[in-house]
Structure 1
């Protein structure tokens, strides 16, 4: 028969871990050791990721110790994967310890590591502390990425702090990481059914929100609505809000926000229910 190599064992461990069966994953790992096949860092990282997703921090700790026993030198991915186990559980103290261990090992913490730390504070309900992670990243010359902004904007919005969420969204826009407005294409033209027949609007502002979580999408929409209030030329054009057809939660969040501000919407007769139209106004 075929003797499984490390790659095959890794694939098997990943599949078992993806099913959430930690006991079987660990038992299979022991079978791998017994077969004489030596695990590599990818083996450990794979199991760490699955243990974290299953909320099994103790399993993750044992795997981390195992990597040291095997004299496998952890890289940035290994540290971030291990940190994510504690981030999901909201154990920010342990995540902070791992960030220090990472630096002590002469591995410069990257955006992924700081994102895990931020996630830990958010999961623990420490949203204010989570916002300061951005300052720490900038001080370390690490540029916050999309994940950084998405999770902190969503967390502050979910905590009811719209002012901070909107300020963070503004910072994300200025950094060039987050831009939801896209050029108007012919395919974006809006067909309206009016009393006199069909009317087609061939110009407008389009913002694409379906790739965002609800908190970030709401902050983006609030920003656009503010622009329309202060710029007559902008509000004289329709606003096309692309929500996609997949997330009813996102669509409801957008609709509720518009309704809370007394903003009427239109349905586009030529498209599926994938976008919300705000009509022009004076």
Structure 2
């Protein structure tokens, strides 16, 4: 009847006596015989709503067995929350696994809590690890650590999988010392995690440049019969490159080849990128050729890294030749390639060529992204053409792109340099209205611009606001502000700024020093004289222009 009649709930009690339907054995048999889990759950929910029927533990367990088959986690959680029964452990464990696979980590933790309250039951270590893994997968490291403490309290110290999850959780929280401590504790008990756990910790230590600890960990790893994988060495090389230790990265790279390892494409890409960044283009080309001969297909990204490297050292002809070679190999022109070319031309002050490439891109139906607009805006700003930069900014808005902090910062600086501080402040306010957080240097540009335009009061107010917001002004900002205050005979304010400047570890430029010295000599202010004795007598606090050039 429940299979064939859409509205069987309205007639079932009239066709079967309650003494039969409400029998616990009958309920269990109906659930067992029905292949459709949804219908079984529908029947169970219906009969539980009838007056005179209260399911017992056996009936609850019968329905509870089938729910994980369809990952009905909400229904199962509801049953556990409302029922006063102890589920059979084997089905709870199965349910927890289904729940974890479904991504409902919070519900899985709730099930564990319910499990411990119902008769003092404790899940097996496998189930604990399953849920720890689920928490880690959704980056709930707080739950990983919380559950592990509860796991220990229940009598489980953990196994090699457990320590792996703990190490990964601590590494994600950037608590590398704690991760190393946990590893040491488990190794003392001769519980050894897999290579992945070691690699996660090695990766974190490498990024922070703690290579003495990396070497120590590698030794312990090998001693524990866990041979480093290619990914392990990849993370070490990545850390060395990030910390500008390119020679050491290449030494390990070459040693791997001697030992019979075959470097992967990621290793080649990292090293080529670093060589290009350092301007070592001959070495980068050689490594690129080696990578190609070893079967790694040169793609658009790899070509663009080399092209950008040539632009970086001013070799525009070589960059364009390589770009043509890339196109001849059948790689399609894309927004990425044009971004590299436009950035390269802008970097070298070739704004006419950059705009020509921009127009060519549009003709070919490629839509520039906000990064390309930002590159052109910055190029025009550095070229002293803030008007053209503003035109590009307006075009960016017209096509419906959202500007970023990278869009506004060069505009603010260029406007301030040209003396148009009012417009620069308007641009900063527009940035704030778009919920974009200005970089600290943006405040410096405006203060410096205000000083150069003689607006000493507002520049002083903005400087005080920077300090109040725990932002550190640049050395140039201090020098310009002291110069402006001194010229406007606000010597006490100049003393205040000077004190803050030396506290920040900055030095005073010689022209500003001479101006202060001249003003202080004419001042009868006791505070000014005291400042002269305390600060201007310190020769190491003064930096000459000649010294800067040296």
TM-score normalised to structure 1 length: 0.68
Aligned length: 238
Shifted more, 91-100 versus 253-262: the winner is 253-262
TM-score normalised to structure 2 length: 0.37
Contact 2:419 2:449 in 1 (8 A): no
Contact 1:53 1:85 in 2 (8 A): yes
Q: Determine the C-alpha separation between the residues in 2 that align with 1:68 and 1:213.
A: 44
Deviation, structure 1 residue 210: 3.6
Q: Does residue 320 of structure 2 align to residue 61 of structure 1?
A: yes
Query: What's 1:102 paired with?
Result: 361
Query: What's 2:472 paired with?
Result: 244
Give the one of 422, 432, 435 matched to 1:176.
Answer: 435
Query: What's 2:417 paired with?
Result: 158
Q: Which runs of 5+ in 1 are unaligned?
A: 180-208, 230-234, 276-282
Structure having greater relative contact order (Cα 8 Å, sep ≥ 6)? 1
Q: SS state of the match for residue 503, structure 2?
A: coil
After superposition, the C-alpha distances for 1:222-268 in whole angstroms (9 at most, x for unaligned) are: 99955999xxxxx9xx74534428x4234434544555666626379
Shifted more, 94-103 versus 25-34: the winner is 25-34
Give the one of 503, 514, 527 matched to 1:273.
Answer: 503
User: RMSD across aligned C-alpha pairs, in angstroms?
Assistant: 3.7
Give the one of 304, 321, 333 matched to 1:45.
Answer: 304
Q: Determine the C-alpha separation between the residues in 2 that align with 1:129 and 1:118.
A: 8
CA separation of 1:70/1:224 partners in 2, compared to 1, >3 Å: closer, same or farther? farther
Deviation, structure 1 residue 217: 5.4
After superposition, the C-alpha distances for 1:123-142 in whole angstroms (9 at most, x for unaligned) are: 33323212211111111112
Q: SS state of the match for residue 150, structure 1?
A: helix
Query: What's 1:202 paired with?
Result: none
Higher helix share: 2
Larger Rg: 2
Query: What's 1:186 paired with?
Result: none
After superposition, the C-alpha distances for 1:22-66 in whole angstroms (9 at most, x for unaligned) are: 233233323333444211222123223323332332232123223
Q: Determine the C-alpha separation between the residues in 2 that align with 1:143 and 1:216.
A: 23
Q: Does residue 340 of structure 2 align to residue 91 of structure 1?
A: no
Higher strand share: 1
After superposition, the C-alpha distances for 1:73-132 in whole angstroms (9 at most, x for unaligned) are: 344333222211011112112111222233344332111101111222233332321221
